[in-house]
Amino acid sequence: MVAEWLEALPRLRQHMGERNFATWIEPIRCSKDEKGLCLETPSRFFQEWVTRHFMSAIQRALAEGGSAALPVRVTVAAEPQPLTPPRRPPVSARPSTTPRPVSRQPRIGRLVPDYTFESFVVGDANEVAYQAARSVAETPGQRFNPFFLWGGVGLGKTHLINALAHDVLGGAQPRRLGCLSSETFINTMVGALRQDQMVGFRERFRDLDVLILDDVQFLAGKERTQEEFFHTFNALHEMGRQIVLTSDKPPHAISDLEHGLRSRFEGGLIVDIHPPTPAMRVAIAVKKASMQGIELPLAVAQTVAERSGSSVRELEGALTRVIASALLRGLPLNEALAESVLAPVTRPRGIVSIDAVQDVVSQQFRVSVADLKSHRRTRSITFPRQVAMYLSRVLADASYAAIAEKFGNRDHSTVMYAVDRLEAKRAQDPATNTLLRSLEGRLRLGSAR
Interface residues toward ligand ADP, by CB under 6 A: 115, 120-121, 126, 151, 153-159, 284, 287, 312-313, 316
Q: Pick from ligand ADP, Mg ion, none: which does 385 bind, CB < 5 to 8 A by kind?
A: none
Least distance in Å: CB of 154 to Mg ion? Answer: 8
SS3 letters across 306-358: HCCCCCHHHHHHHHHHHHHHHHHHCCCCCHHHHHHHHHHHHCCCCCCCHHHHH
Counting residues that bind Mg ion (by CB under 5 A) gives 2
Supply the minimum distance, in Å, between the C-beta of residue 212 and Mg ion.
Answer: 11
Partners of residue 242 on adjacent β-strands: 210
User: DSSP of 92-159, one letter per residue?
Assistant: GGS-TTSPPPPPPPPSBS---TT--STTS---TTTHHHHHHHHHHHHSTTTSSSSEEEEESTTSSHHH
> Of the two residues 151 and 178, which places its CB atom closer to ligand ADP in the complex?
151
Do 342 and 318 contact (CB within 8 A), yes or no? yes
- Residue 153: name its binding partner from ligand ADP, Mg ion, none (Cβ under 5 to 8 Å by kind): ligand ADP
Q: Whose Cβ is closer to ligand ADP: residue 134's or residue 426's?
A: 134
Task: Identify whether the C-beta of residue 29 lies closer than 8 Å to the C-beta of residue 42.
Answer: no
Tell me how far, at minimum, the Cβ of 284 lies from ligand ADP, in Å: 5
Q: How far is the CB of 159 from ligand ADP (least distance, A)?
A: 4
Q: Which stretch binds Mg ion (CB under 5 A): 46-54, 150-158, 302-310, 344-352?
A: 150-158
- Helical ranges in 239-333 per DSSP H: 259-265, 278-291, 298-306, 312-329
Q: Are 252 and 262 in contact (CB under 8 A)?
A: yes
Shortest gap between Cβ of 119 and ligand ADP (angstroms)?
A: 6
Beta carbon of residue 10, minimum distance to ligand ADP (angstroms, whole number)? 41
Using the rule CB under 5 A, which residue among 67, 116, 158, 414 binds Mg ion? 158
User: With respect to Mg ion, which residue has the nearer C-beta, 157 or 426?
Assistant: 157
Q: Please, which residue, 319 or 443, has the CB nearer to ligand ADP?
A: 319
Can you tell me whether residue 172 is helix, strand or coil? coil
Contact call for residues 394 and 308 (beta carbons, < 8 A): no
**Minimum distance of ligand ADP from residue 76's CB (angstroms):** 24
- Number of Cβ atoms within 10 Å of the Cβ of 404: 21
Tell me the residue number closest to ligand ADP, measured at CB.
Answer: 156
Comparison of 282 and 361: residue with beta carbon closer to ligand ADP? 282
The pair phi, psi for residue 76, each rounded to 5°, is -115, 135
User: How many whole angstroms from its chain centre is CA 153?
Assistant: 8
Query: Is the CB of residue 242 less than 8 Å from the CB of residue 136?
Result: yes
Least separation in angstroms between CB 215 and Mg ion = 6
Segment 166 to 225, residues that bind Mg ion, using CB under 5 A: none
**Which of Mg ion, ligand ADP, none binds 58 (CB below 5-8 Å, type-dependent)?**
none
The span of 56-64, 154-162, 227-235, 421-429 binding Mg ion (CB under 5 A) equals 154-162
Terminal CA-to-CA distance of the chain, rounded, Å?
78
273 vs 415, which CB is nearer to ligand ADP? 273
Distance from CA of residue 253 to its chain's centroid?
A: 21
Closer CB to Mg ion, residue 134 or residue 157?
Answer: 157
Q: Based on CB atoms, which residue is closest to Mg ion, 116 or 303? A: 116
Strands across the sheet with 242-247, in order?
Answer: 177-181, 210-214, 242-247, 147-151, 269-273
Residue numbers of the site for Mg ion (CB under 5 A)?
157-158
